[in-house]
Amino acid sequence: MFEIKIPTSAGEYQVSAKPGETLVFLGPNGSGKSRLGVMIEGGHLAVHRIGGHRALQLNTKIQPPNLETALNRLSYGHEQHPGNRVTFRWQNKPAIALLSDFDHLVAALYAEENEISVQHRRAHMKDLTIAPPQTKLDRLKAIWDSLLPHRELIILAGDIKVKSFGSRNNDYDAADLSDGERATFYMLGQVLLARENTLILIDEPELHLNRSILAKLWDALEAARPDCIFAYLTHDIEFAATRTFARKFAISSYENGSQGEQWELEEIPSDTGIPDEIMTRIVGSRLPVLFTEGDGGSLDVAIYRAVYRDFTIIPVGPCDSVIHAVASMEQQKAFHRLGCAGLIDADGRDDQLIAYLKARSIHALAVAEVENVLLLPGPFKELARLAHFDDADAAKRLDELKQEVLKLAAADAEKYALSATKRKIDRGLKRVGLKAKDSTALIGEYDAATKAINPPKIYADLLSYFREIIAKSDYERTIALYDNKGLLDVAAQTLGIKSRAALQDLALRTMNTKNGRALVEAVSKELPAIEPKRAIGILAYGSLINEPGAELENVIVRKMSAGISTPFPVEFARSSKSRGGGPSLIPVEEGERVKATILVLRDGVTLAQARDMLWRRETRNATGTYPAPTTPGTNDVMIKELDQFHGIGKVLYTSISSNIGTLTPEHLADLAIQSAEAVSRGDLERHGDGITYLNNAITAGIATRLSAKYAAAILHKTDTGDLAAAIGKLVKSEQVEKSD
């Protein structure tokens, strides 16, 4: 069993793995994946790390040493110093060094080939029936041939050649392989040569490899080395999804600060009922998830991405898959911080069913299909404007479109009614709940349930209603029901655009530009307003980090600090009455962003409750609700919000005006010293002074533009060597004992 211990802001995160198991660490660029690889490798000789920066110059004219020397050079960079791997293999830069060990790899393959050959020759001389063993080069060639059947590896004594299958040309040196082919050879050799019972750690396993063989290569290598643990560090969601049986972890951030190296990560749950690739994409997102119908290349998904910009849009196929995905994700408590919702086509659902689904965060379009949104008056007029029609012409074209759509709908009324009837029958049958405990009761229950579904009546009612709205020229209601994909062709012809495809291209090409904003706004008005459940957090960048107060402490479930800083400048710019006039940290217009912590609140805490609790803590009120001021005064505490900050849906923070006119280190020091003297007099509780506040901030890694000079000014004025000594000197011991 191999134990990986990863430091996080919440403590040590432990991952255990045994031979035959696979781990995937997934994170975006800058999330500290390579640094994590260096940390895992550490001093463990049982880890064979393949860095993301690797040279692929293949030299087949290598004279191999003995096998042990060759393997030491490959594993440690030196034949005699395995303990100095960082120096010799990584040039003292383990996270960024260019790994240039292809020569060592080829030498080790040759050395192993030579040793096995000599051993077999000696054994064969004693027993002629002994079959020749398989060398690492033999195994490499076998996997190579299965992956790249068009390129034959020819293994010679001390040389490797390549020949194209079916080619009449002569073979050529393996050094002339393409980047992808050399990468394949390199990875095959690295993994096959790794020592037994090793953790094989691969940074960027997808690098230089053709996607058509990427999954097959690593499948083959994992199968070839069941004695090893495989761990991948990657940003490639598609590759991560191919590791079907792996344990997967999402890395969100990395920091190397006063607390040392820290990562924020979480395990991606398995057996969720959601396809593995989709679950991996969910964890890789920092936005709430909106499951939709369709596929990644469809028009509806492109429209959703333009409109719902605060969501990660994930198409999952038909409406049943959307409903299932939302329900499955809601059951995963680890993802409640993200929140999710679903969006499905109307498909003739009645108001009662639509309300039922909405209560479960699944929203239905007001039209049969999302494409029909473009035919509604608002979006259509914007399309007409993009096609260079003025308002009068756009209105005229809209009237023409209405007449043509109503005409087509009338002709297709029976076809519509038949299709809608099938959907109603299907939904009715799915709602049949059979609870009988014997065959007789089951037959009776089934007969009663199916008799309640009356196809002739359903068809007649739907046909009658559809014809009624057409007769009334109710264009918008017709669009809501009529699921004819050919309507976009009609709209294109009406606008003088040559085809449906050209109309789609016009819409999608402009939706993400300044000219398309009006179209997006018009479409947005026709789509459901969706607000998923969101996690709530509080941004702490001062005493709130370690002193949130009892009320907040009871609802904090997690503290996130790795790689987190304030999105605004902060300074000791507020003389705090509760601290005896000592300076406290507040947001300012100019200054430095500082290290911060997100206090994540438990599920069930509403945004209003979080605001009230934070306001009460900041104002030292035991009761009351946050009175959001319309015109904030100098002493008003404002509760502000950040959307989707480090994966947390809503993050609150406090803001209050500066009241220190002369913002210099010397003046700040005078205020802090006065507050410490107030503790000495008994006018202020112990540890409530400005010097203690500054010392705690510095200990937490918070550094503002003035903090270092502010601290130095205190030491100068108190003639002490550190802030703790300054506090001890200013606060008389008898007063400290009295306050205790």
Has residue 429 got a pLDDT over 60?
yes
Give the bridge partners for 538, in sequence order: 599, 652
| Model confidence band, residue 379 (pLDDT cutoffs 50, 70, 90) | very high
pLDDT score for 167: 60
Residues 681-698: tens digit of each pLDDT = 888 988 889 999 999 999
The whole-angstrom separation of Cα 496 and Cα 577 is 70
- Pick the range with the lowest mean pLDDT from 223-237, 468-482, 519-533: 519-533
Residues near 19 by beta carbon (within 8 Å), at least 6 away in sequence = 197, 226, 227, 228, 229
Give the bridge partners for 232, in sequence order: 24, 202
CA distances from 34 to 37, 50, 95 (A): 5, 10, 6
Share of the chain above pLDDT 90, in %: 43
Residues near 159 by beta carbon (within 8 Å), at least 6 away in sequence = 60, 61, 173
Helix (H) or strand (E) holding 699: helix 690-699
Which span out of 247-256, 292-301, 385-394 was modeled with the highest average pLDDT? 385-394
| Model confidence band, residue 737 (pLDDT cutoffs 50, 70, 90) | very low
Which span out of 393-407, 498-512, 550-564 was modeled with the highest average pLDDT? 393-407
pLDDT score for 734: 41
Placement of tokens 């014997």 in the chain: 438
The answer to whether the CB of 717 falls within 8 A of the CB of 673 is yes
Q: What is the DSSP string of 104-117?
A: HHHHHHHHHHHHHH
Has residue 266 got a pLDDT over 90?
no
The whole-angstrom separation of Cα 215 and Cα 241 is 10
- State the chain's mean pLDDT as an integer: 86
| Model confidence band, residue 514 (pLDDT cutoffs 50, 70, 90) | confident
| Model confidence band, residue 421 (pLDDT cutoffs 50, 70, 90) | very high
Structure tokens at 260: 């040392």
pLDDT score for 739: 44
| Model confidence band, residue 655 (pLDDT cutoffs 50, 70, 90) | very high
pLDDT score for 66: 67
The whole-angstrom separation of Cα 182 and Cα 433 is 60
Mean pLDDT of 387-407: 94
Residues 230-258: tens digit of each pLDDT = 999 998 888 888 888 899 998 877 888 76
Mean pLDDT of 720-736: 79
Structure tokens at 49: 């790390």
pLDDT score for 701: 87
pLDDT score for 296: 64
Has residue 386 got a pLDDT over 50?
yes
Helix (H, G, I), strand (E, B) or coil at 668: helix
Residues 36-87: tens digit of each pLDDT = 999 999 867 789 999 887 766 666 666 667 677 767 777 776 776 566 777 7
Share of the chain above pLDDT 70, in %: 91
pLDDT score for 617: 94
Has residue 336 got a pLDDT over 70?
no
Residues 347-363: tens digit of each pLDDT = 777 788 889 999 888 99
Neighbour order of strands in the sheet with 47-50: 47-50, 199-203, 229-234, 22-26, 247-257, 260-268
Mean pLDDT of 381-406: 94
| Model confidence band, residue 527 (pLDDT cutoffs 50, 70, 90) | very high
The whole-angstrom separation of Cα 600 and Cα 104 is 49
Burial of 359 (0-12, 13-18, 19+ CB in 10 A): exposed
Helix (H, G, I), strand (E, B) or coil at 173: strand
The whole-angstrom separation of Cα 124 and Cα 129 is 7
The whole-angstrom separation of Cα 349 and Cα 362 is 13
Structure tokens at 304: 């959703």
Burial of 696 (0-12, 13-18, 19+ CB in 10 A): middle
Structure tokens at 592: 């430095």
Mean pLDDT of 98-104: 76
β-bridge pairing 11-17 and 159-164: unpaired
Placement of tokens 């034959």 in the chain: 152
Structure tokens at 353: 């069913």
Residues near 493 by beta carbon (within 8 Å), at least 6 away in sequence = none
The whole-angstrom separation of Cα 416 and Cα 497 is 27
pLDDT score for 165: 66
Q: How many CB atoms lie within 10 A of CB 435?
A: 7
**Largest CA-CA distance found in the chain, in angstroms, rounded:** 100
CA angle 406, 409, 411 (to 5 degrees): 115
CA angle 195, 201, 203 (to 5 degrees): 140
Q: How many CB atoms lie within 10 A of CB 459?
A: 18
The answer to whether the CB of 688 falls within 8 A of the CB of 656 is no
Integer Rg of the chain from CA: 34
Q: How many CB atoms lie within 10 A of CB 34?
A: 19
pLDDT score for 691: 95
The whole-angstrom separation of Cα 339 and Cα 321 is 17
Mean pLDDT of 616-632: 91
pLDDT score for 29: 78
Helix 707-718 to helix 723-730 angle (10° resolution) is 40
Has residue 452 got a pLDDT over 80?
yes
Helix (H) or strand (E) holding 5: strand 2-8
The answer to whether the CB of 537 falls within 8 A of the CB of 652 is yes
pLDDT score for 181: 86
Structure tokens at 726: 């300054």
Has residue 371 got a pLDDT over 90?
no
- Which residue, 49, 27, 31, is CA-closest to 39? 49
Mean pLDDT of 98-124: 79
CA distances from 12 to 22, 35, 249, 735 (A): 21, 16, 15, 40
pLDDT score for 348: 74
Has residue 723 got a pLDDT over 90?
yes
